[in-house]
Structure 1
Amino acid sequence: MKKALLTGAALLASVVSATAQAERDYISIVGSSTVYPFSTVVAERFGKASNFRTPKVESTGSGGGLKLFCSGVGDATPDITNASRRIKESEIELCAKNGVKDIVEVTIGFDGITFANSAKAPHMTITRKDMYLALAKMVPATDGSEKLVPNPYKTWKDVNPALPAKKIEVLGPPPTSGTRDAFAELAMEGGCSEIPFIKAMKKTDEKKFQAVCQGLREDGAYIEAGENDNLIVQKLVANPDAFGIFGFSFLEQNSDKVQGSTVDGKLPTFDNIASGDYPVSRSLYFYVKKAHVGVIPGIQEYLNEFTSERAMGEDGYLADKGMIPLTEDAYKQQVKIAKGLIPLNAK
């Protein structure tokens, strides 16, 4: 009798196998708009060089992608999700709740978040503290007291006399974006932490500290421009007074149209991001549903292509697209994870 009963895991696997083989013969990839160009070029090369269909890659934002990825197991759910930030504990819990238990995390490289404007406009030199004061919903009162007030600043000059007397107008990603999360943590929180009484708040009330530092104003100075970074580039070209927030790869691909601001004395260059000198840089990832490997055709082979020396290596085609490669040791570790399908909880 016991032998006749399928375990929950085996039953799930049989359902995945039956539905996936019947319904889908291509890899489904969702997630980060920043990782999208890298994933797309790998998918295209993989489709041309192999006997598998070209994977379908969709740009949904890191948060949106992880939500889809964690919605369950089976052909109606994505096999892989790209992310420009690390998966959150709450997302791992959501995955587990919906039967997605063996998640393979692969770090693919680094990216810098650029604060850019039109190449025809004057170059901007700014600090993370300036960014916080310009874009935060709540900022310290101008009378020098340790009191937080709704952001009163209208122009960059109001924030810092050394900055231009131009209206604060910044186009950036929505809450579902990993770029938004990383910008809030690395730029906004980095600048906010330079104000002593707010920095002290982190020890006494971390939730309030995060809300103060990462909360973006909603009065029109910060404009959510969706998940399409190319659209932000187009809007900056049309409006030389505006600034935009997006990944380094989009800056590099559009260097004839837009320029990156100097942040805390460092330009967003390949070398500055690779060395860690540029202060607003982050790791890029993709996550694989191990239960789908061997069921949806080509997943392991796609991972092999993505983590190959010709793609992710120092002189690989992803570096040509603007991705900052990992160090040699870190790269070898990611190859090992991808080939062995080593889950997050087994690292």
Structure 2
Amino acid sequence: MKTFAILAASTAALLSLSACGDEAGGGGAGGARSEIRAVGSSTVYPFATAVAELFVQANPGMKSPIIESTGTGGGMKLFCSGVGAQHPDIANASRRMKKAEFDQCVANGVKDIIEIQIGVDGLAFAESKDGPGYKLTPKIVYDALAANPYGKGPNKAQTWKDVDPSLPAIAISVFGPPSTSGTRDSLAELILEKGCQSDPAMKALKEKNEDEYKATCTRVREDGKYVDSGENDNLIVQKLGANPNAIGIFGYSFLEENLDSLKDIPLNGVQATYETVSKGEYPGARPLYIYVKKAHLTAIAGLQNFLNAFAANWGPDGALAKRGMVAAPDDVRAANAETVKSLTLLDGSVLK
């Protein structure tokens, strides 16, 4: 009798999801789906897969969620493409959803979105254990990586010493995230823009011409000094092992997992540690999110339980901290636990 009830509930859920697909104009073309599907950030990926494992353990008989590492930007495009079985239930993100992405979601019928901050991460700068021992600031990083520093022409710096006399005369070589990555967005917002704004003229430019300001302050040089390393952060770790003078940029969790072969590069004299990231003392600290379609919560079996598993394991002593995620402050965790429980909808007007 219990088995029949479960089958009946699953059938109803799948029929509901097909209806969601029709509402979105997709006609349910993707067919019914009996497992949770999440796409997005490579930084959030290991934490989402950890929750997926816990979810399966706690829900015998449920299929393992499908977690795809597409980058935050790529994940948002997939997430916002519509409602229904052919579209993901969750977008994992290493930065907040943009207003333009929210508007695209709404245009495609994804009107009820739940935003949940699952933790905090640090945008880590790292080098090989055999590296020279760099010490960086947002201004130094900007001066080294900007395509057109302060709008004064193409970047001609070849070595770190060209950028700052305190640094070694070693060729600039940085392995970092691609433009589709939320980590790249965080690099732009938390580091490059801060460095760019060391010139008062750039702040004035922002008020005068936002597009020109963004291009000047966030566009990265394309002459080989910065190497786009795709969505596989482990590949950057491997490249640092083969290039002791190079610098890698990725989420803090990847640094913490590889401290046997890598060392942290301080920013403004502050090292990336669990404590400095958690307290917001580290310049590269950033929140991590998941976005959920409310329409799918009644259509995809187990989706609410999956969210509950996140909330149950994101504390300082939880399973996610053991995987390298930094727990958000107590008040942030409490507020987001309430969001998971009440399914509070995101107000698009607060986005940028």
TM-score, normalised via structure 2 length = 0.90
- For the residue of structure 1 that corresponds to 2:153, the secondary structure is strand
Shift of 1:212: 0.6
Quick check: 1:191 aligned with 2:195? yes
The residue that corresponds to 1:345 in the other structure is 347
Higher mean C-alpha displacement, 216-225 vs 316-325: 316-325
TM-superposed deviation, 1:14: 7.7
User: 2:136 touches 2:267 (CA, 8 Å); kept in 1?
Assistant: yes
Alignment pair present for 1:121 and 2:131: yes
Deviation track 1:221-249 (CA, whole Å, cap 9, x = no partner) reads 01100000000000111111111110000
Secondary structure of the residue aligned to 1:322 is coil
Amino acid at match of 1:259: K
Partners of 1:174 and 1:227 within 8 A in 2: yes
Tell me, in whole angstroms, the C-alpha distance in 2 between the residues paired with 1:340 and 1:255: 39
Q: 2:48 aligns to what SS in structure 1?
A: helix
Q: Report whether the alignment pairs 1:82 with 2:96.
A: no
State the SS of the aligned residue for 1:150.
coil
Distance 2:192 2:206 in 1: 14
User: Is the contact made by 1:21 and 1:295 (CA closer than 8 Å) also made in structure 2?
Assistant: no
Opposite residue 336 of structure 1, the aligned amino acid is E
Distance 1:10 1:315, change over 3 A: closer
The separation in 2 between residues aligned to 1:328 and 1:201, in whole angstroms, is: 38
Q: Report the alpha carbon displacement of residue 39 of structure 1 after superposing the two structures with TM.
A: 0.4
Quick one: which amino acid aligns to residue 211 of structure 2? K
State the alpha-carbon separation in 1 of the partners of residues 91 and 118 from structure 2: 13
Aligned partners of 2:261 and 2:21: how far apart in 1?
52
> How far is 1:203 from its partner?
2.4
Counterpart residue type for residue 277 of structure 1: E
Residue 241 (structure 1) aligns with: 245
The SS at the match of 1:149 is coil
Identity %: 49
**Superposed structure 1 runs of 4+ greater than 6 Å apart:** none
Pick aligned residue for 2:114 from 65, 87, 104: 104
Residues 1:328 and 2:337 aligned together: no
Distance 2:154 2:299 in 1: 53
Indicate conservation of the 8 Å contact 2:233/2:250, yes or no.
Answer: yes
> What's 2:233 paired with?
229
Output aligned runs, 1:1-347, within 5 Å: 12-13=19-20, 15=22, 23-51=32-60, 52-140=62-150, 148-308=152-312, 311-345=313-347
Q: Are the equivalent residues in 2 in contact too, given 1:115–1:243 (CA < 8 A)?
A: yes
The alignment partner of 2:85 has SS state of coil
Alpha-carbon distance, 1:166 to partner: 0.6
Shift of 1:345: 2.4
Asked if the contact 2:39–2:75 (Cα under 8 Å) also holds between the matched residues in 1, the reply is yes
Query: Residue type of the partner of 2:45?
Result: Y
Amino acid at match of 2:47: F
Q: 1:164 to 1:10 in 2, by over 3 A?
A: closer
What's the offset of the Cα at 1:45? 1.3
Alpha-carbon offset, residue 63 of structure 1? 0.4
- Paired residue total: 331
Gaps of 5+ in 2: 1-15
Corresponding residue number in structure 2 for 1:4:
none
Question: What's the counterpart of residue 7 of structure 2?
Answer: none
1:48, 1:54 within 8 Å by CA — same for their partners in 2? no
Counterpart in 1 of 2:8? none
SS at match of 1:111: strand
CA contact (8 A) 1:21 1:296 kept: no
Contact 1:20 1:296 in 2 (8 A): no
- Structure 2 Cα separation of the partners of residues 24 and 10 of structure 1: 8
